[in-house]
Amino acid sequence: MNVLLTGSAGFVGSHVAEALAAAGHRVRGLDLRPSAPGTETDGLVEGKVGDVRDADAVARALRGVDAVCHQAAKVGLGVDVSDMPDYTSANVQGTAVLLAEMARAGVGALVLASSMVVYGEGAYACGRHGSVRPGPRPEEALRAGRFEPACPECGRPLDPGAVAEDAPLAPRNAYADTKLAQENLAASWARATGGTVAALRYHNVYGPRMPRGTPYAGVAAIFRSRLADGRAPLVFEDGGQRRDFVHVRDVARANVLAVERVAAERSGVERPPEPGGLRAYNVASGEPRTVGDLAAALAAAAGGPAPRVTGDYRLGDVRHIVARPDRARRELGFAASVSFADGMAEFARPPAPTTVAVEAGSPKAVTR
């Protein structure tokens, strides 16, 4: 199958390129930077330098393509509201241009890199009121060290659970807003064209080639950078925030399975699970860990100083967000294979020199 992969030179994208090529697919990469030599796809991926916001570049890249795997995005929580134009330009406008050109080219199979951030806070239950959706945590509570969300009905402590794909969506920051906008645009495109979309809601992805030295990096990369400098990881809040850390090679494999699934549905070989065009999947390990667990595991594996819990916080962060990956297992045949211990041991090692591009466009426009 001929697959167009946007963001092919980025952190996740470069691993997806390798996995697609290893599965026997012909990969055409599209990124603002050329594909990196020295990866396992060197010579196997047809790299094209281009911007997903450039309709002409996208139209050329779509020629002869059977499916699209859309990874290109500006990622991370961001620094402040001044990032909003960059996020909407790269993520919303870029996706809109890609979808319009796919419609013109008659390409009807899409895998979209979405994110857990579309959920906002995770799933919670109150002993008195059952399943509830707490609002954003008040800054005065965070300032006082009260980090756990309270029941919006009675104020009692809540029991955190795992979100399924049908959970209400409540993004809490500009990046999350743009990821939900991508899903909505893709759903509109699918309804208008009869196309098929798998939206992969990544949880906390980590692994080789993860960008470092940028405020847009994930928490695992930030901890690793401090350890590499001989400094203790700084853990916000009390370290009890629950997340699902999933290895990038597992994420890449999920993309291959999803590309094959949407292409099979498009061709009629597979029957869609339900009508509607877009189907969301949690891509997660299914084994929640705390941010404190992450910091401790990396520090131990790196032989570095013990983490320091600071009590600091960031407005817009959520307390707990972990997933039920059952739908991906059932419909895509995906289950994470890299254990937390093995993944952290590998990730703690100093990264090998590489020329894989992790930035596209401006210094802030980080590709996946």
Tell me which architecture the domain covering 2-122+163-348 has in CATH: 3-Layer(aba) Sandwich (3.40)
Q: How far is CA 24 from the centre of its chain?
A: 24
Please say if the pLDDT value at position 274 is more than 80. no
Higher-confidence residue of 81 and 168: namely 168
Residue range 179-208, pLDDT digits in tens:
999 999 999 999 999 999 999 999 999 999
Residue range 112-158, pLDDT digits in tens:
999 999 999 999 999 999 999 998 899 999 999 999 999 999 999 99
Residues 349 and 270 sit within 8 Å (Cβ to Cβ): no
* CA–CA distance, 241 with 314 (Å, rounded to integer): 13
**Confidence at residue 143, expressed as pLDDT on a 0 to 100 scale:** 96
Backbone angles phi, psi at 196, to 5 degrees: -125, 135
Q: What average pLDDT is seen over the chain?
A: 90
Backbone angles phi, psi at 325, to 5 degrees: -90, 20
Residue range 294-339, pLDDT digits in tens:
999 999 999 999 999 999 998 878 999 999 999 999 999 999 999 9
* CA–CA distance, 220 with 345 (Å, rounded to integer): 12
Q: 289 forms bridges with which residues in the sheet? A: 243
Amino acid identity of 66? Answer: D
Residue range 71-81, pLDDT digits in tens:
999 887 666 78
Calculate the alpha carbon distances from 363 to 32, 193, 357, 360 in Å. 12, 35, 11, 7
Backbone angles phi, psi at 205, to 5 degrees: -85, 140
Q: Once rounded to an integer, what is the mean pLDDT over residues 250-261?
A: 98
Name the residue ranges covered by the structural domains of the chain.
Answer: 2-122+163-348
Tokens of 340: 């937390």
Amino acid identity of 23? Answer: A
Residue 366 binned pLDDT confidence (cut-offs 50, 70, 90)? very low
Name residue, tokens 């399943």: 131
* CA–CA distance, 20 with 252 (Å, rounded to integer): 8
Higher-confidence residue of 215 and 101: namely 101
**Confidence at residue 243, expressed as pLDDT on a 0 to 100 scale:** 96
Please say if the pLDDT value at position 20 is more than 70. yes
Q: 202 forms bridges with which residues in the sheet? A: 115, 283
Please say if the pLDDT value at position 3 is more than 90. yes
Name residue, tokens 């790196």: 302
pTM comes to 0.91
Amino acid identity of 182? Answer: Q
For the chain, what percent of residues have pLDDT higher than 70? Answer: 90
Q: How is residue 33 annotated by DSSP? A: S
**Confidence at residue 130, expressed as pLDDT on a 0 to 100 scale:** 96
For the chain, what percent of residues have pLDDT higher than 90? Answer: 79
